[in-house]
Amino acid sequence: MDDVATFLRDRLGLAAPVDVAVTRGAVEACDGYDRERIEYPGLEGDPIPAFLFTPHGRAPRGGVVVFHQHNGEFHFGKSEVAGLVGDPCQAFGPALARAGLVVLAPDSISFEDRRAGVRGVEPDTHDWLQHYNAMSYRLLQGDLLMRKCLDDAQRALGVLLQLGGVDPRRVGVAGHSYGGTTALYHAALDPRCRFAAISGAVCSLATRQREGTGIVLFEAVPGLARDLDHHDLLAAIGPRPALVVSGTQDKYSRDADAVVARVAGDFITALRVDRGHALDPERFDAIVEWIVAQAGADADGGSGA
């Protein structure tokens, strides 16, 4: 497909990015960085809470929006990226901020403080149902959850650019699993994403269907598989740098190596390990190192000192 961004925007009815007003909250000084809770409005007037991480004592090298994982834990969102709950190998906020980046970690719709009935980091019986409703209610109205999620994503990047004081040539997106899928689609359609780190999320639609692997609900777009696949999305990111992290035993990135092989160009860095879906220290450290290198790159594509 020649123009994935135009196709997706037209297919979804996704508008261009807009500026939003941000409400800034309490700032907590942490080891090497500050963590601030902020909030800004979404497409439907819904508040989007997020954490903003800024490094101590230095000008930022660049910035990144980190989209959190799914893992069936709807009570975890931005707080897992902050290292406050959940898997330590999802705590990208502190690691990247200590390395000199500004990081924005928003809650995705129906996660943590964006759940319909409850807030916080304790699970609720109806968490899964509310996530399902976020998709199905929109389908009833002729709308799509993907439109909402990608509008959220481009708003997040706009907020990072607005608040972070970073060079717009050194900002990108990252995520694992559900967050990786979000980063993949977002980077494909938003040229403001100057790099994308995608973990545990690249897999052809045919392989997932053949093996009975679930898809994230926001990918439930009627007819999408007839027109688009993950190699198209990766190709649309180029020549901007992309990192694709996958595991041979991970059903969510089962054939990531074959998907990458279909994409022309040398803009993709691929890390494939003989392990499963959950991140481990090796992959976590590699993702952090790659993002830091991209955020420090010179505008002409060279590596910054």
The answer to whether position 300 is within a domain reads: no
The answer to whether position 304 is within a domain reads: no
Q: Which amino acid is at 196?
A: A
Residue 167 C-beta-side C-alpha neighbours within 13 Å:
14
The first and second tokens of residue 175, run together, are 């995520």
Q: Are 47 and 157 in contact (CB under 8 A)?
A: no
How many angstroms separate the CA atoms of 214 and 50, rounded? 27
How many angstroms separate the CA atoms of 44 and 151, rounded? 10
pLDDT in tens, 133-175: 999 999 999 999 999 999 999 999 999 999 978 999 999 999 9
302 falls in which pLDDT band (50, 70, 90)? very low
The answer to whether position 274 is within a domain reads: yes
Which positions ≥6 away from 226 have C-beta within 8 Å? none
Of the candidates 109, 65, 140, 115, the residue with the CA atom closest to the CA atom of residue 295: 65
The answer to whether position 211 is within a domain reads: yes
The answer to whether position 305 is within a domain reads: no
Q: Show the DSSP H helices in the chain as ranges.
A: 4-12, 78-81, 92-98, 127-140, 145-163, 178-189, 205-211, 224-227, 230-237, 256-261, 281-295
pLDDT in tens, 249-295: 999 999 999 999 999 999 999 999 999 999 999 999 999 999 999 99
The answer to whether position 227 is within a domain reads: yes
| CATH code for the domain in which residue 82 is found | 3.40.50.1820
pLDDT in tens, 64-105: 999 999 999 999 999 999 999 999 999 999 999 999 999 999
Based on the structure, what is the number of domains in the chain?
A: 1
pTM: 0.96
The answer to whether position 80 is within a domain reads: yes
Residue with tokens 């000084």: 29
Which positions ≥6 away from 98 have C-beta within 8 Å? 31, 32, 33, 55
Q: Are 288 and 95 in contact (CB under 8 A)?
A: yes
How many angstroms separate the CA atoms of 2 and 7, rounded? 9
Residue 88 burial (CB count, 10 A):
12
Buried b (16+ CB within 10 A) or exposed e, 196-219: bbbbbbbbbbebbeeeeeeebbbb
Buried b (16+ CB within 10 A) or exposed e, 272-293: eeeeebbbeeebbebbbebbbb
The answer to whether position 303 is within a domain reads: no
The first and second tokens of residue 294, run together, are 């991209």
Residue with tokens 């979000």: 182
Domain range for 197: 4-295
Please determine, for residue 10, whether its predicted confidence score (pLDDT) is greater than 90: yes
Please give the pLDDT value at position 18. 94
